[in-house]
Chains A and B, each alone.
Chain A
């Protein structure tokens, strides 16, 4: 068995890193004359190499045991930091997904950023992302997973801040960086606390340790909560979800990658840490509760949005909430399938939306209408993406959602109900977008709406083809659940919920007789969801307020108290000098007096011991 490609699979993250370095050559300040386009082409070439390499390695590793090479990175005293890799068919499969979607997103960006001069910066950051994600899935060490997650956080900041002359971009990038950073810092606490307990950061070693570990329950709970907090921020879960909404200020190709893949990185780490979460029941419950809250809340918020990109971003949060629920209930395999089908479906949706936004300028759903006859490919791709996202057999999303619902029904039916509700809400929101964009009559912004260039449409169509084949692919990979394992009535309910959600949306938004905008709820309720549960205000009035207040107090203390004490010493010395100089009165007689006084004092001091014994 030839293992050349799987043994050199660590090169896959290196290709995009090389691309990142090379694209700097086409910075406008370096290549001043010939434009930035080669940066994109070079990166696409290297991503293609990464994809081909991963595919060849996948063929080699298929149904083979995992390779686990290890390389010492740093050895200091009794701490050894080794870069452990996990080269199995699952990780290489993830590499294929990452490289594939990145390649398509980069091709998409070639069309989308046609009128942009910043290709070098854009493609360099995209490649940084790709390299980071590839490194993350290959990495078998919690410590290096954390390192990569931090690099991805920095990448998010740079990528959202791509058009930095727009003020909303700057605030969005700031929020994305800080929110994810907070989660990462909690994760770091967990990572650091884990080493003395487990003695290793290797995921296999951690699993071995967790199998027999006997921890104090409080310690285990706190540890697990810290480990959850990192992915919590990464996956845009409540209450660290606002950044994803504001991250929609970045260019659409970046959004494709972020919404489909990057938010999954947190889930990936969660799955890898699964054995540790088994130590604490509370942590699992917490994960499920967070996931369920986010799934329900974000699905409702998505319905109330009028910005098309933001509406999709809340669906992302909702799906990541379902992933949290799945991980919290120890369903790793199903979670992986869900991440795979979700990633493909969401990438299609975002690409379709990006094509519409690029041509019609507006992102406002209320400004759209009547694109179906003019943009059939985009419309069909959108429908394929929507079908793959929600539970609609035989498309991809159905299988994992059905499996999840079945499993939840056995343990806690309430979760199954939540899952079905979220599915219905997501179907409603996705079909609402469809109805508003493609249905109805053309409005001013959409009167002339040509289909995009080939590079804009091709990646979307390829992904749609992939999504349509996903049942076969899943079957080939033995990822499909058996029919007899599934709770068929429950699956039927799931399908009905999809139908009801999507059907209601279609009825409401494709029906000309119902006047738009539609008022389903009363104004305060709609406002509540449209403003994302007032999360921005919540942040502003709690954490930001407290931190700003404490900063101001500390600044004040530093300025006036700490500085003041030292300045007071200086001032006192100055004042002392200025006032004591008047002792030099210029009168020699006063000098004589002070000499005499000094001598008298000296004598008094000398004779003080004698005076004490004076006997009168």
Chain B
């Protein structure tokens, strides 16, 4: 068990999240990908907090904040998606290209 493995795992999770964020057509799935990103960040925080700062574990405090904010963000995100859905009757990301050139 080493810090590098944790970091690599978190990075892989981040990349998966980015892939999902960029390619998903479903808006909810985009939010889910964002959750993946945040979770990979949390993994980083936890890893650094364990291996580099075991005494004061500031990383864990950050993780708690990130979780809280992520929940709030997901709530707002879902509310936005719902608002868009009410207007346009779809949550297909490719239909939301009104603000182009």
Question: Are the C-beta atoms of A587 and B93 separated by less than 8 Å?
Answer: yes
| Shortest distance from the beta carbon of A593 to any chain B beta carbon, whole Å | 5
Chain A interface, number of residues (Cβ within 8 angstroms): 12
Question: Are the C-beta atoms of A592 and B97 separated by less than 8 Å?
Answer: no
CA gap between A588 and B24 in the complex, in Å: 12
CA gap between A135 and B85 in the complex, in Å: 98
Q: Which residue on chain B has the smallest CB distance to residue A593? A: B22
Residues of chain A within 8 A (CB-CB) of B101 are 581-582, 584, 586
A615 near B: Cβ within 8 Å?
no
B21 near A: Cβ within 8 Å?
yes
Chain B interface, number of residues (Cβ within 8 angstroms): 14
CA gap between A592 and B96 in the complex, in Å: 14
Known: A596-B18, A596-B22. A589 touches B93 (CB 8 A): yes
- List residues 12-27 of chain B with CB under 8 A from any CB of chain A: 18, 21-24
Residues of chain B within 8 A (CB-CB) of A581 are 101
Per-position contact with B for A578-616: 1 when CB-CB < 8 Å, else 0? 000110111111101100100000000000000000000
Q: Among the interface residues A584, A589, A596, which one has the most CB atoms of the partner chain B within 10 A? A: A589
CA gap between A587 and B23 in the complex, in Å: 11
Residues of chain A within 8 A (CB-CB) of B21 are 589, 592
Q: Among the interface residues B23, B93, B96, B97, which one has the most CB atoms of the partner chain A within 10 A? A: B97
Residues of chain B within 8 A (CB-CB) of A584 are 100-101
Partner of A588, one of B18, B23, B96: B96
CA gap between A73 and B96 in the complex, in Å: 83
Question: Are the C-beta atoms of A587 and B97 separated by less than 8 Å?
Answer: yes
B53 near A: Cβ within 8 Å?
no
Question: Are the C-beta atoms of A587 and B18 separated by less than 8 Å?
Answer: no
CA gap between A589 and B27 in the complex, in Å: 10
| Shortest distance from the beta carbon of A592 to any chain B beta carbon, whole Å | 6
Residues of chain A within 8 A (CB-CB) of B100 are 584-587
B73 near A: Cβ within 8 Å?
no
B99 near A: Cβ within 8 Å?
yes
Residues of chain B within 8 A (CB-CB) of A593 are 22
Question: Are the C-beta atoms of A589 and B18 separated by less than 8 Å?
Answer: no
CA gap between A260 and B98 in the complex, in Å: 89
| Shortest distance from the beta carbon of A582 to any chain B beta carbon, whole Å | 6
CA gap between A586 and B18 in the complex, in Å: 19
| Shortest distance from the beta carbon of B84 to any chain A beta carbon, whole Å | 11
Q: List 14 A-B contacts (CB under 8 A).
A: A581-B101, A584-B100, A585-B97, A586-B97, A586-B98, A586-B100, A587-B94, A587-B100, A589-B22, A592-B21, A592-B22, A593-B22, A596-B18, A596-B22
Apart from A588-B96, A590-B22, 4 more pairs, CB < 8 Å: A582-B101, A584-B100, A589-B93, A596-B22
